[in-house]
Structure 1
Amino acid sequence: MKRLIFCFAFLLVLLSTTKATSQVKITGMVKENKEKLNLPGAIVTLEGPSHEIVKKDYADFDGSFTLSADVKSGTIVVNFFGYVIKKIPFTVKDAPVIDLGIIYLVESGSIVKDLKAKSSSIDIAKDRKTPIASSTIRGFELKERIGNKDFVEVTSNIPGVYTSKSNGSFSESNMFIRGYKQDNMALMVDGIPLSDVETGNIDWSGLMSINDAVSSVQLQRGLGASKLGNSSVAGTMNLILRDSDSKRGGYVFNTVGNDGFSKFAASLSTGRLKNGFSANLLLSNTRGDGYVKSTDFEAFSYFVALGFAKGKHDFQVKVFGSPQWHNQRSSRIAISSYPGYNTNDIDRKYNPNWGYLNGEKSSTSTNYGHTPLGILEWNWNLTKDTQLSTKLYGSTGTKGQTLLAGGIQGDSFYLDNNGQMDLDFISKYNSGVPANYNGVEYTRMAQPTGGFINSLNDGYNYDSMDNTTGVTLVSEISNNTFYGGIMNLKSDLTKNITFNVGIDGRSSVLNKTKYVNNLYGADGYAFNRKNMTDYTSETFKAKPSYNIFDLKNEGVSVDYNYDAILKYLDAYAQLEYSIGKLNVFGQAGFNREFIERVDYKPLGAPVAVSTGVKEADGYSAKLGVNYNITHKQNIWANMGTVSKPPVFVTVYSGLNNFINPEIVNEKFESFEIGYGFRSRYFTFNTNVYLSKHKNAEIPYYTPTLGNFGTTSGINRAHRGVELDFTAPLFSKFMLKGFFSYGNCVYDTNTEYKSFNTTTQTFDRSVLLTDGIKVGGAPQLMTGIGAAYSLFDKFTFGSNVKYFDDFYSTADLEKFDPIFYGEDAYKETIKLPSFAVMDAFVSYRLLMNKGAQALDLRFNMDNILNRLYITESNSSIRKSDYVNSYNLNEGTYESTNKIYKGLADGNNAYFGFGRTWNFTVRYEF
Structure 2
Amino acid sequence: MKIFKNVLLIGFMFLSTLTAFSQSKVTGTVIDGDLNQPLAGANVVVKGTSTGTVTDFDGKFEISTTEKSGQIVVSYLGFVTKTISFTVTGNSVNLGNIVVAPDASQLQEIVVVGKGIIDLAADRKTPIAVSTIKAIEIQQKSGNWDLPELLKSTPSIQNVKGGGFGDGQMFLRGFDQTNTAFLLNGQPINGMEDGRMYWSNWSGVLDIANAIQVQRGLGSSKLAISSVGGTINVVTKTLDKNQGGFVQQMLANDNYTKTTAYYSTGLMKNGFAFSGMLGHWQGNGYIDGTHGQGQTYFLSFGYKAGEKDVLNFLVTGAPQWHGANNHMSLSTLLEKGRDYSDNYGTLNGEYYAGGRNFYHKPVLNLNWDHTFNQNVSLSTVLYGSFGRGGFEFLSGVGRNADGLYDFDTAVSSGVGYSKASVNAHNWFGLVSNLDYKLNDNFSFNVGFDGRMYNGQHYRNIVNFFGASSVNVTNNDQVGSYTITESYGYNPWDALFGSTPRNQRLDRDYEEQINYIGTFGQLEYAKDNFTAYFQGAVSTQSHQREGFFFAEEVGKSKKVNNLGYNLKAGGSYKVGDNHNVFANVGFYSRQPYHDDLFTNAAASNELNPYYDQNQEITGLEAGYQFKSQYISANLNLYHTIWDNRVLFDANDIDGDGVSDVFTQSSPAKQVHQGVELELFINPTNKLKMQGFVSVGDWKYVGNVTSSDYDDAGNLLSTGDTKYIDGVEIGNVAQFTAGFSANYEVLTRFNIDANWNHYNRMFGNTDLASSEWNDSANRGAIKLPSYNTVDAGVSYKWLLGKEKQNNLQFRVNINNLFDELYIENSRDNKHVDAGDDVWNGVDTSNRVKLGYGRTWNFSIRYNF
Q: Per-residue deviation at 1:815?
A: 5.3
Amino acid aligned to 1:39: P
- Normalising by structure 2, we get a TM-score of 0.90
Deviations 1:485-521 (A, max 9, x none): 1111100011111101011101011111101334543
Which whole-Å CA distance do the structure 2 matches of 1:234 and 1:379 have between them?
Answer: 30
Q: What's the counterpart of residue 731 of structure 2?
A: 777
Q: Match for 2:255 among 256, 260, 285?
A: 260
Amino acid aligned to 2:470: Y
SS at match of 1:141: helix
Q: What's the counterpart of residue 822 of structure 2?
A: 870
SS at match of 1:121: coil
Q: Per-residue deviation at 1:260?
A: 0.6
1:758–1:323 CA distance, 2 compared to 1 (3 A): closer
Q: How many residue pairs were aligned?
A: 829
Q: What's the counterpart of residue 451 of structure 1?
A: none
1:336–1:526 CA distance, 2 compared to 1 (3 A): farther
Deviations 1:292-319 (A, max 9, x none): 1121111111111111112111111111
Q: What's the counterpart of residue 159 of structure 1?
A: 155
Q: What's the counterpart of residue 751 of structure 1?
A: 704
Q: Match for 1:648 among 584, 588, 593?
A: 593
- Normalising by structure 1, we get a TM-score of 0.84
Q: Per-residue deviation at 1:45?
A: 2.4
Q: What's the counterpart of residue 59 of structure 1?
A: 55
Q: Per-residue deviation at 1:39?
A: 2.1
1:31–1:120 CA distance, 2 compared to 1 (3 A): closer
SS at match of 1:120: coil
1:778–1:705 CA distance, 2 compared to 1 (3 A): closer
Is contact 1:810-1:872 (8 Å) kept? no
Which whole-Å CA distance do the structure 1 matches of 2:670 and 2:10 have between them?
Answer: 71
Is contact 1:533-1:657 (8 Å) kept? no
Deviations 1:139-179 (A, max 9, x none): 1111100112223211011010000112x100000100001
Superposed, which structure 2 residues align to 1:274-353 within 5 Å? 274-309=269-304, 310-329=306-325, 331-338=326-333, 341=335, 346-353=336-343
Q: Match for 2:583 among 638, 641, 660?
A: 638
SS at match of 2:155: coil
Q: What's the counterpart of residue 133 of structure 1?
A: 129
Percent sequence identity over matched residues? 29
- The alignment status of 1:628 with 2:629, answered yes or no, reads no
- The alignment status of 1:812 with 2:766, answered yes or no, reads yes
Q: Match for 2:642 among 676, 679, 694?
A: 694
SS at match of 1:153: helix
SS at match of 1:878: coil
Q: Match for 1:176 among 171, 178, 191?
A: 171
Is contact 1:115-1:124 (8 Å) kept? no
Superposed, which structure 2 residues align to 1:493-642 within 5 Å? 493-518=438-463, 520-522=465-467, 524-527=469-472, 529=474, 551=483, 554=486, 556-601=503-548, 609-642=554-587
SS at match of 2:581: strand
Q: What's the counterpart of residue 742 of structure 1?
A: 695
Which whole-Å CA distance do the structure 2 matches of 1:281 and 1:194 have between them?
Answer: 21
Which whole-Å CA distance do the structure 1 matches of 2:782 and 2:698 have between them?
Answer: 16
Amino acid aligned to 1:801: N
Is contact 2:389-2:423 (8 Å) kept? yes
Q: What's the counterpart of residue 717 of structure 1?
A: 670
Q: Per-residue deviation at 1:419?
A: 3.0
Is contact 1:151-1:209 (8 Å) kept? no
Which whole-Å CA distance do the structure 2 matches of 1:704 and 1:420 have between them?
Answer: 17
Superposed, which structure 2 residues align to 1:224-239 within 5 Å? 224-239=219-234
Amino acid aligned to 2:84: I
Q: Match for 1:206 among 187, 197, 201?
A: 201
Which whole-Å CA distance do the structure 2 matches of 1:58 and 1:552 have between them?
Answer: 62
Deviates more, 1:237-246 or 1:865-874: 237-246
Is contact 1:255-1:920 (8 Å) kept? yes
Amino acid aligned to 1:404: L
Q: Per-residue deviation at 1:91?
A: 5.3
Q: What's the counterpart of residue 850 of structure 1?
A: 802
Is contact 1:84-1:105 (8 Å) kept? no
Amino acid aligned to 2:543: E
What 5-or-longer segments of structure 1 have no aligned partner?
1-6, 408-412, 432-470, 535-546, 880-892
1:38–1:653 CA distance, 2 compared to 1 (3 A): closer
Q: Per-residue deviation at 1:762?
A: 7.6
Which whole-Å CA distance do the structure 2 matches of 1:119 and 1:277 have between them?
Answer: 19
- The alignment status of 1:191 with 2:186, answered yes or no, reads yes
Which whole-Å CA distance do the structure 2 matches of 1:617 and 1:707 have between them?
Answer: 31
Deviations 1:251-277 (A, max 9, x none): 111111110111111111222222221
Which whole-Å CA distance do the structure 1 matches of 2:60 and 2:10 have between them?
Answer: 31
Which whole-Å CA distance do the structure 1 matches of 2:477 and 2:624 have between them?
Answer: 58
1:53–1:283 CA distance, 2 compared to 1 (3 A): farther
Is contact 2:753-2:788 (8 Å) kept? yes
1:918–1:904 CA distance, 2 compared to 1 (3 A): same
- The alignment status of 1:788 with 2:722, answered yes or no, reads no
Is contact 2:250-2:257 (8 Å) kept? yes
Which whole-Å CA distance do the structure 1 matches of 2:514 and 2:455 have between them?
Answer: 11
Is contact 2:110-2:238 (8 Å) kept? no
Deviations 1:531-579 (A, max 9, x none): x779xxxxxxxxxxxx976656656201111111111001111111101
Q: Per-residue deviation at 1:19?
A: 2.0
Q: What's the counterpart of residue 756 of structure 2?
A: 802
1:65–1:518 CA distance, 2 compared to 1 (3 A): closer
1:228–1:528 CA distance, 2 compared to 1 (3 A): farther
Q: What's the counterpart of residue 374 of structure 1?
A: 364
Deviations 1:463-494 (A, max 9, x none): xxxxxxxx642111111111111111100011
1:586–1:247 CA distance, 2 compared to 1 (3 A): farther
Which whole-Å CA distance do the structure 1 matches of 2:345 and 2:113 have between them?
Answer: 55
Is contact 1:809-1:873 (8 Å) kept? yes
- The alignment status of 1:97 with 2:91, answered yes or no, reads yes
- The alignment status of 1:485 with 2:430, answered yes or no, reads yes
Q: Match for 1:475 among 403, 407, 420?
A: 420
SS at match of 1:273: coil
Which whole-Å CA distance do the structure 1 matches of 2:618 and 2:86 have between them?
Answer: 54
Is contact 1:41-1:60 (8 Å) kept? yes
Which whole-Å CA distance do the structure 2 matches of 1:566 and 1:112 have between them?
Answer: 36
Is contact 1:46-1:77 (8 Å) kept? yes
Which whole-Å CA distance do the structure 2 matches of 1:13 and 1:100 have between them?
Answer: 29
Is contact 1:58-1:65 (8 Å) kept? yes
Which whole-Å CA distance do the structure 2 matches of 1:613 and 1:720 have between them?
Answer: 40
Which whole-Å CA distance do the structure 2 matches of 1:705 and 1:868 have between them?
Answer: 26
Amino acid aligned to 2:54: Y
Q: What's the counterpart of residue 468 of structure 1?
A: none
Q: What's the counterpart of residue 498 of structure 2?
A: none
SS at match of 2:768: helix
Amino acid aligned to 1:388: L
Q: Per-residue deviation at 1:14?
A: 5.8
SS at match of 1:382: strand
- The alignment status of 1:667 with 2:596, answered yes or no, reads no
Q: What's the counterpart of residue 443 of structure 1?
A: none
Q: Match for 2:391 among 385, 401, 407?
A: 401
Q: What's the counterpart of residue 16 of structure 1?
A: 17
1:101–1:758 CA distance, 2 compared to 1 (3 A): closer
Superposed, which structure 2 residues align to 1:818-829 within 5 Å? 818=772, 826-829=777-780
Deviations 1:194-235 (A, max 9, x none): 111222211111101111112111111112111212311111
Q: What's the counterpart of residue 732 of structure 1?
A: 685
SS at match of 1:19: helix
Is contact 1:797-1:841 (8 Å) kept? yes
- The alignment status of 1:904 with 2:842, answered yes or no, reads yes
SS at match of 1:660: coil
Which whole-Å CA distance do the structure 1 matches of 2:473 and 2:191 have between them?
Answer: 28
Deviations 1:312-350 (A, max 9, x none): 111111111111111111x22111223x52xxxx41111
Q: What's the counterpart of residue 46 of structure 1?
A: 45
Amino acid aligned to 2:314: K
Amino acid aligned to 1:486: V
